[in-house]
Structure 1
Amino acid sequence: MKIHPTLADSLRRQESPSSNDWETTFRTMVLYDLAADMELGFFLAYYRNFAIPSIAATLYRNGEIQERPMKRSYDTAIVIYELIASGLDSDRGEHMVALLNRAHRNVPGSADDYLYVLLTLLVVPVRWAQQHAWRPPTGAELTAAARFFAELGSRMNVKGMPETYAEAERFFDQYEATHVSASIEGQKLMDATVQVFQSRLPLPLRPFAARMISVMLADDRLVGALGLPRSGRGSRATLGIILAVRNALHRRLPLQRKPHFTPGKAGSSLYPGGYSLDQIGPVKVPDPSTFQSHELS
């Protein structure tokens, strides 16, 4: 894939790509132009599921997050990045779609629950980038992102996928308005997962991981549902200053030529030497007998 040499050149390309280049447009957005902010947005999307009691209960009964929080978190990120970097119709992409379908087979949930989980990966990162990145996503990028998740949803047999980003936002907001609530399961899942974020921070900042997540979520109702400490105006102002300085510096740097993610070579404490596709995914297959019988129709 050809990457333009300057931020301005890449922005021009992202503003007016060919309509058939939606997958390339989204890939460039996630792996190059807005890489750091999209990655953080994916992390924040992951946490939001714990604030929906029905989804949290299902995740808690499965046990993967409590028993292997690091693996579940990193594998979730690897799956979405593999799909974006390799392409939905590539061999690696088809492997990941098959993995998602196997992992969610016999897992209970309404059609709206499934749709919400998928749309967190669209709406949450985009909104973070709109508010905090060095530049907001372009209209073409929003169209490409919505098309990517519509195509992914089709391959996963998720019903009712929105065709546009605006429709996705409307569903997302309406769903959260009626479903976000505290639950013991959700708060236990959040407690188990905070350590993953802590591991990515410098040692002096690790005790403040939960508060930092609260500041980034910037939603008192969500923070309360997750059992996180509430953030004050000072904390939010500090985050704004840090991001403003970061963005000012970023605009003075050349375009990143190395992608944010390379399939099979993601570096982490979990996979320090890279990974093979068969290492990704749950250690145990969900047992239908542990769930209630309200499965997705």
Structure 2
Amino acid sequence: MNRFALRDLTNRLDAQSQCEDIVRILSTQEFPWDIEQALSFALFRTYAVPSIGVLLHETGEFNQRTQKRYDDTVLILDTILEHGMSSPQGRSAFRRMNQMHGAYDISNDDMRYVLSTFVVMPVRWLADFGWRALTPHEVTAWANYYRAVGRHMGIQDIPETYAAFASFLDAYEAEHFAFDARGRAVADATLELLTTFPPTNLAPKRLVHLFARTLMEDALLDAFHYPRPSKLSRTVFRLALKARGTFVRHALSPRETPLHGRQRPNIRSYPQGYAVESLGTFPKTCPVKHATGTAPAAQGGACPVTAARGVSARGGGDA
């Protein structure tokens, strides 16, 4: 297959009505490794916003069951992408995701920020390290896809263009990045998980940690109180990633069959298979602190936060 055959295909598809097809091709055939790395770092940087990092720490999930939380996130999003947002499987995945989010008092701005990281970081990663950058047409489709994801999640005031997503992300991080030991603990647990993924599991942990830090901007490093790597370290590791991109461009052909998230070796929690309805967390009681006099879900009353979002205390919300 021609090295640019998939690019030519995505550019023939409509960026609005066929954005799911375009994102599916980009994620599972054209750039499966790059987009996996970019989305992992997208999620990682959200821990530097204390309102997000602290919440993840207090659930005990990301720092105690890091592999499972990683797998659940990948598999829920992978189900939506593989089967489509309007499919029964896609709707089940959205329902499961909305039930989890609805159990916590998460601000709309934080939800918009996390969504923005999923839009912006893969585009920037591919521009820096991919064997090619996304075309403007693909960038538009990528933003349209995640706009639709955001609507299914009930997020309000979603940016309308990629440029608006990027502007919102940069401003939000400039205002909200700050150190919190609990967010740092979640980041540390995630970096530790990274050292177990092949092929990085064959390298010394210190080297893997250094490699990860060379990919972080100074503002992100400072928010976690991570030491800044030397200019030499940044240059060496970034050149290595660029060299990989050059190798892929000139030595490899496009994937003819999709590589879905559920097929990746990093996903290890469900060797016997899984049902999307069983993924994620199921709080037994309402974990949100409410005003005095509010009936907690454990005593039979509806959680006022989840009820306001259309999610029952037992997780009956829809996409």
Name the TM-score, length of structure 1 as normaliser: 0.90
Letter in 2 for 1:101: N
Please point out which of 97, 102, 106 is paired with 2:99.
Answer: 102
Q: Over residues 94-140 of structure 1, what are the superposed CA-to-partner deviations in whole Å (9 max), with x where a residue is unaligned?
A: 11100111001131132211111122111112211121100001111
Aligned pairs for 1:5-154 within 5 A = 5-19=1-15, 20-154=17-151
Native 8 Å contact 2:46 2:114 kept in 1: yes
Per-residue deviation at 1:160? 0.8
Native 8 Å contact 1:143 1:165 kept in 2: yes
- Aligned position for 1:169: 166
Per-residue deviation at 1:61? 1.7
- Aligned position for 1:208: 207
CA distance in 2, matches of 1:280, 1:257: 30
**Percent of matched pairs sharing the same residue:** 27
- Aligned position for 2:234: 236
CA distance in 2, matches of 1:33, 1:266: 15
Residue 251 of structure 2 is aligned to residue 281 of structure 1: no
CA distance 1:169–1:262, shift in 2 (3 Å): closer
Which stretch shifts more, 94-103 or 20-29? 20-29
CA distance in 1, matches of 2:96, 2:185: 26
Native 8 Å contact 1:17 1:140 kept in 2: no
CA distance in 2, matches of 1:233, 1:75: 36
CA distance in 2, matches of 1:233, 1:21: 42
CA distance in 1, matches of 2:70, 2:132: 27
Runs (4+) of structure 1 moved beyond 6 Å?
A: none
Please point out which of 211, 218, 221 is paired with 1:220.
Answer: 218
Letter in 1 for 2:206: P
CA distance in 2, matches of 1:204, 1:244: 20
Native 8 Å contact 1:69 1:196 kept in 2: yes
Letter in 2 for 1:27: R
CA distance in 1, matches of 2:223, 2:215: 15
Per-residue deviation at 1:286? 7.0
Letter in 1 for 2:4: A
Name the TM-score, length of structure 2 as normaliser: 0.84
Native 8 Å contact 2:214 2:238 kept in 1: no
Native 8 Å contact 2:50 2:183 kept in 1: yes
- Aligned position for 2:190: 193
Q: Over residues 251-297 of structure 1, what are the superposed CA-to-partner deviations in whole Å (9 max), with x where a residue is unaligned?
A: 2211112322165x454332334433244212x32743454669698
* Structure 2 unpaired stretches of 5+: 292-303, 310-319
Native 8 Å contact 2:53 2:186 kept in 1: yes
Please point out which of 249, 266, 269 is paired with 2:247.
Answer: 249
Which protein has the larger Cα radius of gyration, Structure 1 or Structure 2?
Answer: 2
CA distance 1:7–1:287, shift in 2 (3 Å): farther
CA distance in 2, matches of 1:17, 1:73: 32
CA distance in 2, matches of 1:148, 1:286: 33
CA distance in 2, matches of 1:32, 1:101: 28
CA distance in 1, matches of 2:33, 2:102: 32
* Structure 1 unpaired stretches of 5+: none
Secondary structure of the structure 2 residue equivalent to 1:162 = coil
CA distance in 1, matches of 2:202, 2:228: 22
Native 8 Å contact 2:213 2:228 kept in 1: yes
Per-residue deviation at 1:205? 3.3
Q: Over residues 44-102 of structure 1, what are the superposed CA-to-partner deviations in whole Å (9 max), with x where a residue is unaligned?
A: 01111110011112112211112211111121122222222221111211111001110
Per-residue deviation at 1:229? 3.0
CA distance 1:112–1:273, shift in 2 (3 Å): same
Q: Over residues 135-189 of structure 1, what are the superposed CA-to-partner deviations in whole Å (9 max), with x where a residue is unaligned?
A: 0011111111111111111111100111211111111111111001111111111
Per-residue deviation at 1:31? 1.0
Letter in 2 for 1:137: L
Native 8 Å contact 2:24 2:82 kept in 1: yes
Native 8 Å contact 1:210 1:229 kept in 2: no
